[in-house]
Every structure is written in C-alpha cells, then in structure tokens.
Structure 1
Amino acid sequence: MYNGRTDLVEHVSHFNQRMVVHSKNETLMCMVFLSSMGPVAMRWFDDLRAGSISSFKELTRAFGSLFIMCSRVPRPLDSLLSMTMREGKTLKMYSDRYWKMFNKIDGDFDNVAIRTFKVGLLAEHGLRKLLTGKPIDNVRQLIDHIDKYKRVEEDQQLDKGKVKVVF
C-alpha cells in the first residue's frame, strides 16, 4: 500500500514486478494499481479530471510527479564512516543503526561495509577482536558473526535480570 511517505519509485517498481504477466493489459494495470494506493494517494486519484489519464504509463508519471518528494535519496558511502557503537549501547542497537544506513547506500560495497562496521565497534568488543584476528570475506559472514554475538549479549542481559532464589 502506498501511504504517501515511502519511496514511490520503489512502489511502482514492485508493482510492475508483481504484474509483469499482465503488463500488456493497460486497463487491468490501472485498476489494480489503484488498489495499491493508500488513503492519501487515493484522494489524489479521486481528484483527477475524468479522461485525463489514457495509459498506465501516464498514470504512473502523474503519480510520480505528485509524490516525487517521497523518493529515496541515496546516502553517500562515507555515511558509514560516521557510524560507531556508543558506550553503554548494545551490539543490537549499533547493528540495527548500521544496517539501516547501509541499506540507504546504492552500490556494492561489501568490503567497505565489513571494514567500517568493525572500526565502528568499541575497541574492547569481542566481535571487533574476532574480526581483527580472523578477517572475513563477505557481508553474509559478518551478519552471521553479529547474530552470534547478539545472542550472547541477549543471554547476558537475561542473566543479569534473573533473581537467585535460595531455599
């Protein structure tokens, strides 16, 4: 559902991928596209002048011109350089912030992602020590290591919260 705040180019692209087998049927494409609009976009559509749209391409072009301010602007690669784990914060918090920023960067920068994630960890963090001692080759391996350390972190948090009962 397009809500007026998300990336419209991404929305149209996903819609086109789902409808690829029906792409030659303009009427169907337009009608089904309307069902993917949330209330804001539907109000825009309801205000269109009758007969002002004659093709799916025109519909998506008009849609795009109105909601263009919602398009995602890629972040520069150096945005990752400013990402650091803050003292007293968990690996999960750092990891969530890091990957959110990483996903806003266009391109294939796995090697940079691995290095900047490692450098952003606290110097004494066990994961940083592991990544320094045993370098990895791809982001999938990095994510696997992060997940293991997050589970250990969560277990430690649970252990801190437990109350010992002595009989």
Structure 2
Amino acid sequence: MTNPFSKDIMNFQMPKDVILPTTLKSYDRIGDPNIHVTKFHTMMFMNGASDPIFCRTFPTFLDGAVLIWFSNLPAGSISSFDKLADLFVNNFVALKIYVHDSNYLSTIKQRQHESLKDHMTRFAKATMEIPNLKPEVHLHALKSGLHLGKFQKTIIATKSKTLAKFREKSMSQIEIEEL
C-alpha cells in the first residue's frame, strides 16, 4: 500500500490530544460526498485541527471501496486537505443523492385524508433539500398543493402574501384539526 500524503504531511508531528468526531459515520459511497467533507471539516475545525491533521485523520472516516480508492492514490500526491477533499468529491460526486429543484415542490400535493400538519411537515422536509429557494416560490407551491376544502378557500380569500402569514393561518387550522 502506498502513502498518498506528501512528506510535509507525513512529517507533521501529530498532537497526542487529537479528538476525532464520534458522531461522524464513515463514508462508504452512500450520500453526498460534499456533505461528508463539510461535516468532517466542521467537526475537526471545532477541535482546533490544522491542515495536516485534517489530512491524516480523514481516511479514518472512509470505509469499504472508498478506503481502497484512497489507498490507491499516487504516493505523495496529497499536499493539502483541499486537494484531498477535491479528489474525494470529484471521484464520488456521481453517487450524490439527487437534489430536487423548486419545480419539484409543485408535485407535492396534500393527500386525500392527510392532515394539514402532516402535509406541512412533509412539504417542509422537501424544501430543506432545495438550495436558494425563493419564498414566493415556496409559498405558491405550498398553497397550490392544498386539497380543495375550507382551509384552501380561506387561504385564497385572505391572499396570504408571505410565508409568515400563511404559517400563522395554517397553525390556527392545525389547532382546529387537532381538536
């Protein structure tokens, strides 16, 4: 097995008190590699880690075929964590879970017997996956996904123009439904 780290990285004296994150799962080709790198970097940065520490500890959070990929990198080819992260992300980006765009929201409709609370929760989860979602698009999709009924008519009649106003109205409706 070759060592992909540069001499500078390998010659760095690792502190004895390095704390590795205990909640970060090893990456084994499941999920977005960008998220894995970001989580790792954030957790290590919180512990005051430096670039050589990032490099030397990152492989401990790789598993299976991903660890084999790392082991097969050319000797001495990694001189910084940025380089390692770029290689890692570029190699595994095809495995990234598809992220929806704002058009996807128009497909989320309140189901026939679904409570408003459950619908709002399901809708909120979908919006978390959409980067840079504009509030007006969010609101339009949310309103148009409601099934026909008293609440939808109320929303149309009151012309809630902001998410805050819509949420205020929906919270009142949810309280009514739960009674």
TM-score (norm 1): 0.67
Between 36-45 and 82-91, report the one with greater CA deviation: 36-45
Task: Report the CA distance between 1:92 and its aligned residue.
Answer: 4.0
Task: Report the CA distance between 1:116 and its aligned residue.
Answer: 1.5
Measured against aligned partners, the alpha-carbon deviations of 1:54-82 in whole angstroms (never above 9, x if no partner) come to: 32122112211331113354433222222
Task: Report the CA distance between 1:7 and its aligned residue.
Answer: 1.2
Matched, 1:104 2:134: no
The structure where helix makes up a greater share of residues is 1
Instruction: Tell me how far apart the structure 2 counterparts of residues 31 and 147 of structure 1 sit (CA, whole Å).
Output: 50
Aligned to 1:94: 119
Greater length-normalized contact order (CA 8 Å, ≥ 6 residues apart) = 2
Task: Report the CA distance between 1:141 and its aligned residue.
Answer: 4.9
Instruction: Tell me how far apart the structure 2 counterparts of residues 44 and 30 of structure 1 sit (CA, whole Å).
Output: 15
Aligned to 1:81: 106
Secondary structure of residue in 1 paired with 2:114: coil
Matched, 1:31 2:56: yes
CA contact (8 A) 2:102 2:133 kept: no
Alignment of 1:12-27 (within 5 A): 12-18=37-43, 19=45, 22=48, 25-27=50-52
Unaligned runs of at least 5 residues, structure 2: 1-24
Q: How many residues align?
A: 153
**Distance verdict in 2 for CA 1:57–1:100, change over 3 Å:** same
Task: Report the CA distance between 1:121 and its aligned residue.
Answer: 0.7
Task: Report the CA distance between 1:136 and its aligned residue.
Answer: 3.7
Aligned to 2:81: 56
Amino acid at match of 1:114: L
Amino acid at match of 1:26: D
Instruction: Tell me how far apart the structure 1 counterparts of residues 167 and 33 of structure 2 sit (CA, whole Å).
Output: 29
Instruction: Tell me how far apart the structure 1 counterparts of residues 112 and 68 of structure 2 sit (CA, whole Å).
Output: 47
Between 29-38 and 138-147, report the one with greater CA deviation: 138-147
The Cα RMSD (Å) is 3.2
CA contact (8 A) 1:22 1:29 kept: no
**Distance verdict in 2 for CA 1:34–1:147, change over 3 Å:** farther
Percent sequence identity over matched residues?
Answer: 22
Aligned to 2:145: 120
CA contact (8 A) 1:22 1:28 kept: no
Secondary structure of residue in 1 paired with 2:100: coil
Between 28-37 and 81-90, report the one with greater CA deviation: 28-37
Unaligned runs of at least 5 residues, structure 1: 157-167
**Distance verdict in 2 for CA 1:84–1:50, change over 3 Å:** same
Task: Report the CA distance between 1:117 and its aligned residue.
Answer: 0.8
**Distance verdict in 2 for CA 1:145–1:32, change over 3 Å:** farther
Between 33-42 and 114-123, report the one with greater CA deviation: 33-42
